[in-house]
Amino acid sequence: MAVDAVIIGLGYVGLPLAQEASRVGKTVLGLDINEGVVADLNAGRSHVDDLSDADIAAMIEAGFEATTDESRIAEAKAVVICVPTPLAEDGGPDLGAVESAVGMVARHIHPGMLVILESTTYPGTTDEVVRPALEAGGLVAGQDFHLVFSPERIDPGNEKFGAKNTPKVVGGHTPACTEAGAAFYGAFVDTVVPTKGTREAETAKLLENTYRHINIALVNEMARFCHELDIDLWDVIEAAKSKPFGFQAFYPGPGVGGHCIPIDPNYLSYNVRARLGYPFRFVELAQEINSGMPAYVVSRAQDILNEEGKALKGSTVLLLGVTYKPNIADQRESPAVPLAKQLAAKGAIVRYHDPHVSTWRAVPEAQRVDDAAAAAGEADLTVLVQSHREYDVDALAQAARTFFDTRGVVTESDKVTRL
């Protein structure tokens, strides 16, 4: 029996996509190399924040199945590649997982198949890396099979926008490929946005996240000099965003994290340098500023303790929230990691609390505490790194000896210093 879609990569991107396709009656097969993930899904257990065990059970009831068997790609009408593309050592994207997935598809491709890449990468990847591998067996993209790039736009933990109601950008190798991709997604996504081709779709994703990266860097740099000039930046932002046009509010923080902002703009910067021989200066400066924020927070923490007559070395510092964004368990590229490591390197005793993280493998030297309020009362300094909804931040600030709010969410208190 033919499968409507095989989705390769069952993480934060692939699994919500599989859910939406299953909901409209498509027969969906999930393919992943992680045997544990496959076993858990087939047993009805979710491993991502945005889907519950009940969601997985409903998918299975609708016909969803997970497998590690790549030969089943041959059954598919469409294949969607949703594998990670981390940064390589040279600053470009590590396409190892993409190349592996494309190799699987190439071994089982057949005439009429729709092949879609969703993994974020540099402009030209679909045409220069994916297409030659798929055409190696003799089939031609745009003639014998359809080839599309459609960037993932999943925002883990976003309760307003998900895979269904986030507009889907679709760029095909040919206009007919674009139409095929649009028809596939149009069955379960509310809005499809076609582009001229694959390169435009690839670049659109990078522009989205570069825009955010640069604007976050802007307010992070403003946070530094506003502190020196005794200006309340949070109040400044509130005033500025009262303008009903021409301004979008961005907020400072202890750094940027997740699978997009710290990584995707670097693909564009790398591509500009590699192909054109000059730097994308906005991106490189933004990266320098944002990656330096954990060190800035450490410096501010040291100053706060000094004002209390204490040295950072030997002081207990409690970090509240160590995930990369609020209300989820995702720790990818979390700025809490370099923050904790730099505190420990300067001799601080680092403890942490996070309702979503039971074991912080990235920072094994940090001790987990169960009671945030009690730990805040014992710590020399408490730093709010991530403002989870489970936290009563005002109560925690009152319980703390000294409280450093890097998110600007605590109301006025004589114990609180804001970033």
SS3 assignment, position 122: coil
* 116/121 Cα distance (integer angstroms): 13
In this structure, what are the phi and psi dihedrals at residue 116, rounded to the nearest 5 degrees? -125, 130
260 is catalytic: yes
Neighbours of 138 (CB within 10 A): 7
* Short-list 164, 214, 152, CA closest to 191: 164
Concatenated DSSP letters of 300-363: HHHHHHHHTT--STT-EEEEE--SSSTTS---TT-THHHHHHHHHHTT-EEEEE-TT-S--TT-
CB neighbours (10 Å) of residue 221? 19
183 phi, psi to nearest 5 deg: -65, -40
DSSP 3-state assignment of 134? helix
Other beta carbons within 10 angstroms of residue 394's beta carbon come to 15
**Cα(219)–Cα(215) distance, rounded to whole angstroms?**
7
Residue of 82, 177, 226, 260 marked catalytic? 260
Beta pairing, strands 168-172 & 146-149: antiparallel
Tell how strand 381-384 and strand 403-405 pair up.
Answer: parallel
Give the closest residue to 405 by CA, choosing from 286, 304, 256, 311: 304
Tokens for 145, please give them.
């099979």
Active site residues: 260
